[in-house]
Amino acid sequence: MKEHFAHSGAWGIAAIMIVVASWLFYRYFAPKNWREWAGATVVQAFIIALYAEMYGFPLTIYLLARFFGLDRPNLNANLWSSLLGVGEAGMLISMLFGYALLLVGIGLFIQGWRELFRAHRENRLATTGLYALVRHPQYTGLFIGLFGEGVVHWPTLFSVGLFPVIVLVYTLLARSEEKRMLEQFGDAYRAYRSQVPMFFPRAGQWRQLVERSNSERDDQV
């Protein structure tokens, strides 16, 4: 069988998307030490692998077609379309849902960065805005955005495999950051940590998290 993959071979678009996504990531997650660079390296690999497969060559679909009997006359580069046989409609649904999660994630880590920047400038503990609902809204946004783009919208072997690694790396990084916050703010941060979840808000607060992010973004316009 000679496979033909729809929606592939656009390497120019792949390069543009890698540059744009990488710029956005490093704009708000600028690494400052080796732990942060370790996390950034994994995310960078995720971005390159994702968009290289999304617009360039669909390695995941190729492997499935070659070695796992996914024998279709016209394979789509999107895994959901090819694996489930849902065609263009399925790809459209996964794209819309994935982009919705991506936009929520971007909004969260941008607004989280702004709130943290204001707190650092005023030499105070960040406990308002998004930080009143989760202790690390930037990482929450990163997880949601990467899940939306690399698992819901365009899952690949690399994006699905790297996602839990990214969550683990940034969980360890968050714990390291919290040790420094305890040294700096002491009991104030200890009390804050006991009241606010690390990454994901309590049941019933997800909508509030998204709405608060949107309202803060509107205030910046």
Question: In the predicted model, is pLDDT for residue 1 greater than 50?
Answer: no
pTM of the predicted model, to two decimals? 0.84
What's the pLDDT band for 133 if we cut at 50, 70, 90? very high
Predicted confidence band at 105 (pLDDT cuts at 50, 70, 90)? very high
- Looking at the chain, the number of H-run helices and the number of E-run strands are 9, 2
Better pLDDT: 217 or 212: 212
Higher per-residue confidence, 103 vs 89: 103
* pLDDT given for residue 76 in this prediction: 60
Interatomic CA distance for residues 90 and 216, integer angstroms: 34
Is the dihedral angle over the CA atoms 78, 81, 87, 91 positive or is it negative? negative
> Which domain, by its residues, includes 123?
5-220
Please say if the pLDDT value at position 221 is more than 50: no
The pLDDT assigned to 220 comes to 45
- DSSP secondary structure string for all residues of 124-168: S---SGGGGT-S-HHHHHHHHHHHIIIIIIS--HHHHHHHHHHHH
Instruction: State pLDDT tens for residues 183-201.
Output: 989 999 999 999 999 999 9
Higher-pLDDT residue of 102 and 84 is 102
**Three-class SS state of 61:** helix
For 174, residues 6+ apart whose C-beta sits below 8 A from its C-beta are 135, 136, 139, 198, 199
Supply the DSSP symbol for 186.
Answer: T
Question: What's residue 190's pLDDT?
Answer: 94
Residue 23: pLDDT over 70: yes
Name the band, by pLDDT with cuts 50, 70 and 90, for residue 212.
confident
> Model confidence at 8, in pLDDT bands (50, 70, 90)?
low
Rounded-to-integer distance, Cα 84 and Cα 87, Å: 8
Burial class (CB in 10 A: 0-12, 13-18, 19+), 218: exposed
Measured between alpha carbons, how far is 21 from 50 in angstroms, rounded to an integer? 11
Work out the mean pLDDT of the chain and round it to a whole number. 84
Determine contact, residues 151/157, Cβ cutoff 8 Å: no
* CATH code for the domain of 35: 1.20.120.1630
The answer to whether residue 218 scores a pLDDT higher than 50 is no
How many domains, in total, are found in the chain? 1
CA dist., res. 50 & res. 58, Å (int)? 9
Q: What is the pLDDT of residue 211?
A: 81
Q: Which of 82, 75, 69, 48 is nearest to 159 (CA)?
A: 48
